[in-house]
């Protein structure tokens, strides 16, 4: 026993697995909706198909890649902060951690919500990753995108990353209308019950809490600057936006904000998104907006008449989390036996044990995949009548559906998926009813993938 104990440290050294490790923290992974794309491994599961399974079809819903600034963020936080810097009498050279403001100047933003070079590169890299992930699948003949410039530009970047010399991929743009019902890639825009400001009040309540100590510190450093909570939020946001424009930002410095303060900023954004596109406003509401994409996707993947192996669509930040709610994923109340969603997001402190973390759910280029698999060679499942199974991935990480995990590595059988979707429809309801649609010709069905909509080839 003594010899074994003495040998353990050597074994750790040989495997390069130290018994003790240092603390590291990356602010760019805690910027919520303005986080540059990363794969958080949430949960840290193997992304490859389960042993004995082979992906036969896949569909991806992708948020646009990194932009220079969201218009609301720019007008509410970024521009007002830089205007105050231009007009202040405060001398920054001797203000400790704020001294960089003596020479810093903001990146030029002539027009907000434009894709950055980083964004174009991210979109192309995602395409390359998918081509390697699915070497046996045919490349898509069409990519879909909602009609905004940033989603179209992201789709074009993706196409250039995946397109080969011997094929041309069409880009089909779907108009971002106000009366399209569920038949668009921006169904929330056609939902009268949805308002973009939902969650702002709750988020601001926590912003006042967590920024108070920061304001006290900054006022001590620079008493001649009229500090407000909005200035602090602008500084957090400049970390993300400036990084995707210039490649780095002094606002990301560990000397400016502590890791706990970054987590508090992230939580303030989580509160807003939880109320806006998550469970806070009601699972039945946001789920009803996201479910049409799920239904349409599973129908496409299960159809034997489908001509595509891979479906890829680009949208905005609102739809992916609504799809996750439709699937019952990232639910703070799951497995608790109680449906008390708002109790899980207090407004006076951080719930560090929540599953709803917007940096993981909707960074730039966030993507949700539904894969169809043949698992006829999977041990324990080789004799099943139907070898078809489905699984969901979020930013490459496999997710277990809350009531369908009867397949290899907790994937969902074809029969189980039918039952699961019927159950989710009973929970969330239909789009038109939940949205209180007050215009004619609304629909609860997403049919853009099967409609005769002509695409446009993207030039090389």
Could you give phi then psi for residue 60, rounded to 5 degrees? -125, 135
* Residues in the chain, total: 460
pLDDT category at 15 given cuts 50, 70, 90 is low
Residues 6+ apart with CB under 8 A from 352: 263
Q: Which helix (H) or strand (E) holds 3?
A: helix 2-14
The pLDDT confidence band at residue 1, using thresholds 50, 70 and 90, is very low
pLDDT at 261: 98
Q: How far apart are CA 228 and CA 208, in angstroms?
A: 10
- The token duo for 132 is 């390697």
- Interval 202-246: pLDDT, tens: 999 999 999 999 999 999 999 999 999 999 999 999 999 999 999
Q: Helix, strand, coil: what percent of the chain each, to 5?
A: 45, 10, 45
Phi first, then psi, for residue 260 (nearest 5°) are: -60, -35
**Which residues, 6 or more positions from 410, have their beta carbon under 8 angstroms from its beta carbon?**
391, 398, 400
In this prediction, residue 178 carries a pLDDT of 96
pLDDT digits (tens, 9 = 90+) for 383-422: 778 999 999 999 999 999 999 999 999 999 999 999 999 9
pLDDT for 20 beyond 90:
no
Question: Can you give the pTM of this predicted structure?
Answer: 0.93
- Residue 192 in this model has a pLDDT that exceeds 80: yes
């Amino acid at each position: 026993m003594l010899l074994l104990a003495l040998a353990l440290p050597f074994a750790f050294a040989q495997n390069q697995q130290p018994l003790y490790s240092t603390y590291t923290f990356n602010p760019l992974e805690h910027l919520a909706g303005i986080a540059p794309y990363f794969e958080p491994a949430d949960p840290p599961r193997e992304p490859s198909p389960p042993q004995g399974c082979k992906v036969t079809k896949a569909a991806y819903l992708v948020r646009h890649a990194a932009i220079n600034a969201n218009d609301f963020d720019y007008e509410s936080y970024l521009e007002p902060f830089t205007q105050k810097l231009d007009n202040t009498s405060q001398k920054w050279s001797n203000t400790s951690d704020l001294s960089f403001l003596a020479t810093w100047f903001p990146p030029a933003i002539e027009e907000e919500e434009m894709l950055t070079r980083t964004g174009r590169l991210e979109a192309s890299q995602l395409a390359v990753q998918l081509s390697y992930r699915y070497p046996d699948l045919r490349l898509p003949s069409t990519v879909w995108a909602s009609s905004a410039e940033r989603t179209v530009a992201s789709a074009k970047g993706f196409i250039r990353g995946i397109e080969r010399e011997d094929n041309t991929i069409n880009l089909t743009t779907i108009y971002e209308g106000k009366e399209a019902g569920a038949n668009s890639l921006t169904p929330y825009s056609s939902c009268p019950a949805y308002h973009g400001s939902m969650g702002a009040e709750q988020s601001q309540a926590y912003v006042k809490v967590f920024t108070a100590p920061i304001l006290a510190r900054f006022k001590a450093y620079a008493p001649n600057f009229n500090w407000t909570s909005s200035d602090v939020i602008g500084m957090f946001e400049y970390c993300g936006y400036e990084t995707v424009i210039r490649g780095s930002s002094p606002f990301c410095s560990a000397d400016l904000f502590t890791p706990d303060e970054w987590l508090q900023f992230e939580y303030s954004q989580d509160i807003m998104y939880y109320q806006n596109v998550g469970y806070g406003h009601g699972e039945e509401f946001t789920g009803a907006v996201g479910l049409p994409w799920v239904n349409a996707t599973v129908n496409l993947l299960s159809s034997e008449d489908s001509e595509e192996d891979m479906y890829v669509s680009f949208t905005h930040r609102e739809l992916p989390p609504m799809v996750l709610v439709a699937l019952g994923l990232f639910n703070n109340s799951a497995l608790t036996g109680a449906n008390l969603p708002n109790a899980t997001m207090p407004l006076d402190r951080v719930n560090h044990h929540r599953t709803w973390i917007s940096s993981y759910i909707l960074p730039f280029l966030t993507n949700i995949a539904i894969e169809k698999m043949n698992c006829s060679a999977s041990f324990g499942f080789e004799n099943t009548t139907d070898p078809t199974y489905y699984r969901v991935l979020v930013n490459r990480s496999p997710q277990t559906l809350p009531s369908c995990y009867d397949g290899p590595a907790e994937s969902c059988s074809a029969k189980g998926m039918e039952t699961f979707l019927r159950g989710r429809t009973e929970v969330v309801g239909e789009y038109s009813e939940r949205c209180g649609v007050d215009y004619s010709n609304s629909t609860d069905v997403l049919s853009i993938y099967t409609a005769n909509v002509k695409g446009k080839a993207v030039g090389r």
